[in-house]
Chain A
Amino acid sequence: MIFLIGRAWKFSDNIDTDVIIPYKYKARSIDPKELAEHCMEGIDPNFSKKVKKGDFIVAGRNFGCGSSREQAPVAIKACGISAVIAESFARIFYRNAINIGLPVIICKDFPKETNEGDLIEVDLKEGFVKNLSNGKIMKINKQPAFLERMLEVGGLIEYYKKFRKFPWE
């Protein structure tokens, strides 16, 4: 979980939760596998079939804007995506992703320097992202320590199961 490597799938600014997972699918199921099949359907109906385990979503500003649906990061994670790297995130998506154990990485200039299919390496411990296809290396915005602790164990449920308290307590 600390060291990740995979290919980049590029997305633009303001990718909203209705595109990530339309309500009609989340209304009838909370099964991550079923949600994953429809992930990003509004932009690319075959996205979930094309993603390989460990790949990254690399996006522009305000990723995950829109609804509070936690099924959005759940669908992305269940597709096999190991982390989302974006210039910035919408607030509820950002919280939801960490809570369900999907790393969300803020790196302002990295998406602009990355093309679809580039090979990416992420080191969450040392706090950097590296584009192995063009050699660019950049620092990741630091998260509050309690959020890092939650991500390390795989999310809020796992944290509570392990320590019998919530990360902010």
Chain B
Amino acid sequence: MQYANIASKDFQDKVLADEGLTFSEKILSLKRSDEPGKVAIANEIIVAKVDLTMAHDGTAPLAIKVLDELGIKKVWDNSKVILHIDHTYPSSSEQIANFHSIMRKFAKAQGCHIQEGNICHQYMLENYVVPGMLIIGADSHTNTQGCLGAFATGMGSTEIAAIWASGKIWLRVPESIKVVFKGNLPKGVYAKDLILFTIGKISCEGANYKTMEFTGSVVKEFSIDSRATLCNMSTEAGAKAGIVEMDDVTKEYLMSLGREPMLEVHAGKEATYDKVLEEDVEQMEPYIALPHSVDNVKPVREVEGIPIDQAFLGSCTNARLEDLMIAAKILKGRKVKEGVRLIVTPASKSVYKSALKNEIASILMEAGASITSPTCGACVGTHCGVLGSGEVCISSSNRNFIGRMGSTDSKVYLASPATVVASAIKGVITDPRDYLR
């Protein structure tokens, strides 16, 4: 893929070295096409050149229809249009199968890449995202991809079609919130707990229209899998983007996949932040979001004992190899409670293959889990774990709105993979630390 840097080398060097700019201001200064060479400051509206776009079976069919209505025959750059069939894969109905066919035909005619059977954001991390990119996806959790030092945000189908036509989009340069996690992470506490705690504190609109920059010693030690969880959930605080800057962990991850960064962007030391949240993680414990809002957060120990029907370990939030390993560690030699179903949906084929190779999959199945092929299925309530009336689910996913996973009369509790499987063992909401001693 050809990376198109618009900015001159001199301007690029100047912006990257500017200590007064946030990550978002720097990257968007270098991507702007309305006034190239002018620094983009928070709240300014700019037009930017996009490095990568994506859409999935929930959003691409509409984008394809819009492109047709605009009378545009060819996308601006077919190497930058990635299509994913993941939200209901394999299809669960004839109507959905027909939408999938529309996508395959479009991809073939345009010569753009289409993949099936991997959750889009995980597939993008494994195959496309590099630091310094501006990525626009027709999915709200596109923020996930910021975990590799890129600026990644979600939009709707019509705007994606406009980008496919022109390669450009308008953006308001976001203000930024710096979230610093420091201290020693206690046993049984994971990235999901940190971000649930944060959303509980700032609310589901606490980062509206803003970028959340995650940093601090804890984040620096986090794997890409854990960083992806933080950035993914920034969406649930209303954030436009979630960012972890590139460092040695990022470099190692990219190297293992044979990719190189586009730009190494670091926030300036004197940059202006809307808010700085400094959290000492040593005081933290496993957290859970109660129905029906992601910011309805409590410590797990305060709600222990609530009976569950289903435990779901899946979604773009928490279904990577690290998550499955944590689950296997707790489930090894134990059984899922009778009457409770544990559904495991790995985030990608690559994650699934590794789980098979490492015997993680067999440990999960010995414990009684059902493993599905990668899909967004249960999280969006389309298939592979839809909830019936009155059912209760504990889920490692990102949303617990009314009717999200099925019946409007069902209840969803959000927690870390460890809390999800610990609860599956006891059949009631359970603090995972009981199993980690």
Contacts and interface: CB of A to CB of B under 8 A. Distances in A.
Nearest to A93: B156
B158 interface: yes
Given A62-B204, A69-B58, A161-B70, A28 B93 contact: yes
Contact of B45 (A68, A144, A155): A144
Contact of A95 (B96, B155, B381): B155
B291 interface: no
Interface in B24-40: 34
Given A42-B403, A62-B204, A144-B45, 17 more contacts: A22-B404, A26-B58, A27-B88, A27-B382, A61-B205, A68-B137, A70-B156, A70-B157, A90-B205, A95-B159, A99-B156, A156-B162, A157-B69, A157-B70, A161-B70, A166-B168, A168-B47
Interface in B55-88: 57-59, 61-62, 65-66, 69-71, 87-88
Contacts of B402: 16, 18-19, 42-43
Contacts of A146: 170
Contacts of A82: none
Contacts of B425: none
B96 A27 contact: yes
Contacts of A96: 155-156, 158-159
Interface residues of A, number: 42
Contact residues of B: prevailing secondary structure: loop
Interface in A95-136: 95-96, 99-100
A18 B34 CA distance: 36
A62 B138 contact: no
22 contacts: A18-B402, A24-B381, A26-B58, A27-B58, A27-B88, A28-B99, A42-B402, A65-B238, A66-B399, A70-B62, A90-B208, A91-B238, A92-B140, A95-B155, A95-B159, A100-B158, A157-B158, A161-B70, A166-B162, A166-B165, A166-B168, A168-B170
Given A19-B401, A23-B381, A24-B382, A30 B156 contact: no
Given A65-B204, A67-B140, A30 B59 contact: no
Contact of B381 (A22, A41, A65, A156): A22
A141 interface: no
Interface size class of B (residues with CB under 8 A): 35 or more
Given A62-B238, A157-B158, A166-B166, A28 B62 contact: no
